[in-house]
Amino acid sequence: MKEQIVKLIVGNLVEIIPELSEGSVSLDETFVDMGANSIDRAELIMLTLERLDLEVSRIEFVSAQTVNELADLIIQKQQR
C-alpha cells in the first residue's frame, strides 16, 4: 500500500516540478530541498488526495516535509 502511495506522490511531484525526474526524487529529502515552494506543496497534497479520492482537509498534511512523511500521513487517514 505505501509503495503505491509513494509512487503516486513522486509522480505528482515530478508533474508539479518538471525539473525533477522520478529517479532524482529522494523519499527522505525535504520538499523544500527538492525545490518545492509552499504553493507546490499545497498542489502536491491536493493532487494526491484527489487521485486517491480521499476527502480529508489539506491542513492535516501541512506538517509533512518529505515523500515518506506524506505517505505515512495519508495511510493514517485512509485507515480511519
| Tens digits of pLDDT across the chain (80 residues) | 899 999 999 999 999 999 998 888 999 999 999 999 999 999 999 999 999 999 999 899 989 999 999 999 999 998 87
User: Cell match 525539473: residue?
Assistant: 19
Using a 10 angstrom Cβ sphere, with 0-12 exposed, 13-18 middle and 19 or more buried, the burial of residue 13 is buried
**CATH code, domain carrying 64:** 1.10.1200.10
Q: What is the pTM of this model?
A: 0.93
CA distance 70 to 72: 5
pLDDT for the residue 22:
84
Domain that holds residue 22: 2-78
Number of domains in the chain: 1
